[in-house]
Structure 1
Amino acid sequence: QLDAQDQTLRLTATDLSHHLTATIPCEVSEPGTIVLPAGPLAHLIHRLPTATFTLTTDAATGQATIRYGRNKAVLNGFGSDTLPQFPAMPSDALTVSLPAGTLSTLHRQLVFACAHDETRPVLQGVSAQITAGRFLLAATDGSRLSYTELPVPDYAGADQSFIIPPKVLIEGARLNTTQAITLTLDSGLIRVATPGLMLTSRLVDGQYPDYQRVIPAEYAHQFRITRADLQKSLERLQLMATKDVSPVHLHLAPGRLTLSLQSSEVGHIEETFDCPTQGQPLDVLFNPRYLLDAMKSLDGEEALIELSGPQSPARIRSVNDAPYFHIALPLRQLA
């Protein structure tokens, strides 16, 4: 829906689960409102050869004419009352202010770990809890877990829990803003707002599982390695992987890490790194894609991988001890 008045164009779009509103300055000769098909309108505007254009509506025909230079395009519209209304956000909803760029970071750290199985809609979302001045966020598909937390020192209300649809973080990451982001949550809705742009979505219904129980309390083995080196090594190893999961074998020895992957169809690859280690020698198998995704989600130059044993989850994080970490489950115990 396009609503032009007071030298401002207000654009509203919805897919019934998500509601986006944007306001931009423009020259308004005569106020008016029209509903246009989002796809054709967006693709046309994106491809216009001129920086400016004129849009005129005709109430009699329900059409909008877009003029650019000597050219024009006519789009068939709908009545202004055809756009479904979205529930209003309660005035007493929880509101949190986040620094610019936060949603982009959360998208990189969390969304990849969400489940893609539509039979588990709860795990398709991101768990969000606010408690004691901290905003705790986690995502898991049952085989891996990403976790981070943000400080919210200004919040003094009761503990609350929500499940955020991943699309909120995906779309929020696209916001190119240098200003703070306002996050508003209610029992059924979440809103992300920046100056001139507001995305409102329905929260995911359900109870998120207790993910804390899969996080080991202590670790007997660890190694530290340059993140880029391990990431590139995993990319090379994955070239040998077949369509079915070909596990990467990690052999940890004092001062040394060896990664290997064998495929009966493609071949075999083995790479060794000198790196600081702690604990006894260890052999463990992982899905190489899970480790690679974890490397891509980290900040900093060095990664720290901590393990308890060949069948225990591994914790993957940056050496800088940031609140973000990733938990990956091994595939199976080596024979």
Structure 2
Amino acid sequence: MELRCQQADLDQALHLVSRAVARRSTLPILSNVLLDATESALRLTATNLEIALSVSLPAEVRETGQLSVRADVFTDFVGSLPRQDVLLSAPSGTTDLRVTCGTSKARIPGIPAEDFPTIARIGDQPPTALVDTQALRDAVSQVVFAAATDDSRPVLSGVLLEFRGDELTLAAADGFRLSVRTLALQQPAATDLAIIVPAKALAELARVAGESEEALQLLVTPNRSQLLARSGRLEFLSRLIDGTFPEFRQIIPRQWKTRVTVDREAFLAAARRAKIFAQSNNEVVKLQFVPGDSELDPGSMVVSAHAADAGDAEDVLPARVEGPQATIAFNGRYLTDVLSVTKAAEITIEMTSSNAAGVFRPVGDETFLHVVMPMVIGTA
């Protein structure tokens, strides 16, 4: 193998694929990055067996070939080089990678490419769906935080991706809250199906693909065990979680008795202040909805928290309250989580009773909703 490429291109590609390198593994090969020199490009690939990342970069290839080397050493050395041409070569019959840039040289021992895991690629296969990269990135940010962080119920540690016609629905739940977001596909899905992607993997896909301006191609393998994604020179692979996601639409309350509309930023600021005191009382933040007595006084929302050892805090926010006066309590972190990922100027909260789930909806945006189970007010 022998090729020449730009240091900036190589450095950027290495930092991208390094996100998939296994940090702690008993298999040395998973700490490596695979170099695959084809006729006109260099492809770098890394995997931890949960996800895989591949990036192609332009290169002047004099001799094709493959080799894997330690990702950390190779990445750090390339990052230290000046922005000049980098010559990579592996003499025939050896597994050593030679790196030359200006007056700098290095030799990095490698492992034969045959030992590197086989990574599936989209190739010429028609994708299952085509989605705007930035739209998917925004959608993922609004649901992934609601996934469970433990593996006691594996399906809840993932995010449901449901393809139906020209619409993609993402849903995540951890048993205490549910986040649902829909977005339009750029073309109808090849088939209607539902898959569960590990939350961490989906967040990683959104992070790395967000740097591309090209549409994101998504392909579910025929056995529905892997999700492949491609955008420009980047390719991504994730294993899928086997199981059945809960019927989340049945969890969403269909009616409400009290509904309040409030400024989102003011609510977020008040929730953050209340959370300071709620930390000493199981994170309980109480919301009181007080209807107004005229059109000039539509009502208010009181955000409060109390703890015997920390003290108490209270914010009174102007709000439009529909229905009778009501009180409900939520985990303060759950409040700040959902208020942080919505972009609307106002948000509505719908509830039926203090012991039933509350529904959060951004005003003017019907593509997103969030359901939260309440906490026992008696502890507040």
Q: TM-score under structure 1 normalisation?
A: 0.92
Could you tell me whether the CA contact under 8 Å between 1:304 and 1:318 is conserved in 2? yes
1:180 aligns with 215
Matches of 1:23 and 1:157, distance apart in 2: 27
- 250-259 or 206-215, larger mean C-alpha shift: 206-215
Contact 2:289–2:302 (8 Å) recurs in 1 = yes
Structure-2 residue corresponding to 1:214: 251
Pair 51,114 (structure 1): closer, same or farther in 2 beyond 3 Å: farther
Which of 209, 224, 229 is equivalent to 1:192?
A: 229
Q: Which amino acid aligns with 1:197?
A: L
Aligned: 1:265 with 2:298:
no
Q: C-alpha displacement at 1:302, in angstroms?
A: 1.4
Residue in structure 2 matching 1:296, options 340, 345, 359: 340
Name the SS for the 1:117 alignment partner: coil
Contact 1:93 1:185 in 2 (8 A): no
Deviation at 1:295, TM superposition (A): 0.5
The whole-number CA distance in structure 1 between the counterparts of 2:81 and 2:269 is 41
Distance 1:204 1:24 in 2: 31
Report whether the alignment pairs 1:21 with 2:50: no
Partner of 1:6: 39
CA–CA distance in structure 2, aligned partners of residues 181 and 60 of structure 1: 39
**What residue in structure 1 maps to residue 27 of structure 2?**
none
Q: Which moved more, 1:149-158 or 1:283-292?
A: 149-158
% identical equivalent positions: 28
Query: Which residues in structure 2 correspond to 1:319-330 (within 5 Å)?
Result: 319-330=363-374
What CA deviation, in whole Å up to 9, does each residue of 1:201-251 have, x standing for no partner?
A: 111111111122221011111111221111122122222233662300111
Q: CA RMSD in A?
A: 2.2
Structure-to-structure mapping, 1:117-266, within 5 angstroms = 117-152=150-185, 154-155=187-188, 159-174=192-207, 175=209, 176-186=211-221, 187-242=224-279, 245-254=282-291, 255-266=299-310
Mean Cα displacement is larger for which, 318-327 or 158-167? 158-167
| d(CA) in 2 for partners of 1:243, 1:72 | 57
Q: Structure 1 counterpart of 2:329, which letter?
A: L
The runs of 5 or more residues in structure 2 that have no matched partner are 1-33, 292-298
In terms of fraction of residues, the more helix-rich structure is: 2
Where does residue 287 of structure 1 map in the other structure? 331
Q: Say how many residue pairs are matched.
A: 335
Pick one of 35, 38, 62 that aligns with 2:71: 38
Q: Quick one: structure 1 residues 156 and 194, their matched pair in 2 at CA, closer, same or farther if it must change by over 3 Å?
A: closer
Instruction: Tell me the CA shift for residue 29 of structure 1.
Output: 3.1
State whether structure 2 residue 91 is matched by structure 1 residue 58: yes
Q: Is the 8 A contact 2:280 2:307 kept in 1?
A: no
SS at match of 1:173: helix
Distance change >3 Å, CA 73–CA 301, structure 1 → 2? farther
Structure 1 residues 147 and 162 mapped into 2: Cα distance closer, same or farther (>3 Å)? Answer: same
| Mapped pair 1:278 → 2:322 | yes
Q: Aligned equivalents of 2:135 and 2:84: distance in 1? A: 31
Taking the TM superposition and a 5 Å limit, the aligned residue runs for 1:71-90 are 71-87=104-120
Deviation at 1:185, TM superposition (A): 1.5
**Distance in 1 separating the partners of 2:84 and 2:300:** 58
Which whole-Å deviations, capped at 9, do the CAs of 1:34-87 have from their partners, x for residues lacking one? 111223323333343435432222344422122233223332110110101135
**TM-score, normalising length: structure 2:** 0.82
Q: 1:8 to 1:92 in 2, by over 3 A?
A: closer
Moved more, 140-149 or 57-66: 57-66
Q: Are the aligned partners of 1:112 and 1:293 in contact in 2 as well (CA < 8 Å)?
A: yes
User: In structure 2, what is the Cα distance between the partners aligned to 1:163 and 1:40?
Assistant: 35
Report the residue type matching 2:309 in the other structure.
E
